Structure 1
Amino acid sequence: MEIKSVALLGAGAVGSYIIWGLSKLPDIRFGIIAEGSRAARLRDEGCSINNVTYHPQVWSPQEAKGVDLLIVALKYGALPGALASIREAVGPNTTVMSLMNGVDSEKIIAGAIDSKQILPALIKIASRHDGNGVRFNPEKTIGIVFGEAQAPFESERVLAIEALMRSADIHIRHTDCINEEIWCKFRLNVCNNLPQAVIGAGLGCYRDSEHMRAIKEGLRRELEDIAAAKGIDMSKCPASSGRGSAVPPSVRYSTLQDLDAGRHTEIDMFSGALMAMGKELGIPTPYNEYTYHIIKALEEKNDGLFDYSGQNKENTCAR
C-alpha cells in the first residue's frame, strides 16, 4: 500500500503543520477541502506558515472524493457541520485520521462513515497564531501519534502513513495503545490548557503558584477517575505521552489563545465532555463543572454580554 493522495479538512494551527510538510512532496496529490468564501480566500491568499505563504490546491468535497488519506484538523465546534463533507470525500479505500483534541472526534466521524476506515490519532504541536498566519518550531514539534485500535498494530495502512509523513519531515510515531495515548493527551489539555485560561496567565503559572497546581490536580483526579471507570489504563502510555513540546513559561495554550482573540473555545470538548461522562458514570466532577462555567462566562464576556456601558444606571446598595 502507498499513499498517493491526501486531503486536509481544516487549515488552522494543526492543519498548518500538515500543509508545511506535505507541500514539499512533488509526487503526492495534496489539497485542502473548503467551500464558499473560505475556499476563495484560501485560493487568493494561501496560508502563511512560519512567514512563508503556501498555496496548496483547494478542493470541494466532490473533487477530493476517494483520496487515500483524509486528515481532519478542525476545531471541535466545526465538526458536526463538516460531516457531510467528510462523507462526500471518503471513498471505499480512504483512511480517515482525526488530529482533533478531545476523546470523541472519531466516534462523531463514525456517525457519517464506516468506523473501520478511521485510524485513531492525536497530535502534539506548540503552534500559535501570528497575525494572519501560524508559527511553530518544526524541530521541537512532537508531532503525530497514531495506531490501530486493535491488532495487527503494524498494519499496511499504518506503515504506509508513517512512510509518507517521514518523507515529509513530519514527526510521527505509531503505537499499540492509541486509545490510552489519546486519553493522556486529553489529560494534558484539560490540566494544562484550562486553568491558565481562567486567569489569563502563561504556562509558568503552574510552576509559580500552589493554587494553580491545586486546580490542575483537581482536574486531573476527576479525569483519571473517569478514564479508569471506562477501562482506560493510562499507565500503558510511555512517560513521554504525559508531556507536551518544550515551551517557555509565557506560552498561552489554545483555550487562552481563543479567549485572547475573542473566539469561542473548545471547552465543550474538554470539561463539557468530562461532565457528561461523569454524570453517566456517577462520578462527581466539581472542578470541571466550575471550569466549564467560568470559561463559558468568559466567552459571554467576549461576546459583549456584560457590556453595560450606555445603560441607565440604577441605584444599588451594598449590604
Structure 2
Amino acid sequence: MTLTAHPGAAEPATALRRRPGLRGLRALGAQGPLFTAAVLVLAALVLVAVFAPLIAPYDPEGMDLSASLVGTSGDHLLGTDQSGRDVLSRLLHGARTGLLGPLLVVAVSTVLGTALGVIAGWRGGWADTLLSRSMDLVFAIPGLLVAIMLVAVVGSGMTGPVVAMAVAYTPYVGRLVRGIARQEKARPYLEAYRVQGWSGWTICVRHLLPNIAPTVLAQSAMNFGYALMDLAALSFLGFGVQPPTADWGAMINEGQSAIQQGAMLPALAPSFAIVLAVVAFGIVGEGIADRIAKRER
C-alpha cells in the first residue's frame, strides 16, 4: 500500500514560516492608522538621515551669496538661506544631527536608568534609598541648565549637550524601571526561581528585563521626542551644533533674520521637521504603551 501525501500537507509549514511577519503586520495595523503613519514617518526620517549625502541636491555648506534668499524654484525646491545655501539640502543633512543626538541621549539614559532601576527595585534596602535619593537630586537640576554649564566647560558642540541630557533623562527611566521591578519581584513566578536556587543576576537578565523591556521601549520612544526638542533648543541658543554644520535647531536660529526679509522657509522648514518628528515619536510611544496596557488587562 502506497501512502500519498495530502495536497495541502505542505501548507501548514509554509503558514508557520510566514506567520511571524504577518503577525507583525497585523500588530502594526491593529494600532490604528495614526500609529502606522507615525511609524512610516519615522522610517522615512531614518532613511533620509542615512542617505542624505546621496539624495541632497547640493552641498549643505556650499555658499552662493548671489543666490541669497532665492524663493522656491526648480533648482531650489525650498529656496535658499541668507548665505545662498540650499534649504532642502541642509534640511536633509540636518536630519543626521537632529536624530543622532537624541539617539545617543536615549541609548545612554535607557541603559543607565534601566541598570539603576533594576538594582534599586531588586535589591531594596540601602541600595534603593541611595539610588532613589540620587535620582531625586538629578531631578532637582534642570537638564538644560546642566547642558549650558557643561558647554561652558567643554565648549560648544554635540558632546556637552548630549552628555548633560543623558544624565538628565536617566532618572526618568530609572524611576519607571524601579517601580516595575518592585512589582515584578513580588510575583510568584520570580519567587519560584529564587526557591530553585537561581541567582538574582540570572533571574533579572533572563526574566525580569525581558518582561519590562516593552514598557521601557515605550518610555524611550517618548524620551526621544523630548530629547530632540531639548537638543534643538540648545542648538537654537548657540550651545549645540555650530554653523556651518546643518542642524535643525541652528537652522531656525539662522532663519530668524530671513523672516524679517519676507523669507519664511529657512526657519519654517526645520521647525516643521522638528514638530513632525516629535509628534511621530510621541504617537509611537503612546501606541506601545496602550498595547502594553491592553495586554495586561
What TM-score, normalized by structure 1, do the two folds share? 0.22
Q: Write 1 or 2 for the structure with the bigger share of strand.
A: 1
Q: Which has the larger radius of gyration?
A: 2
Q: Write 1 or 2 for the structure with the bigger share of helix.
A: 2
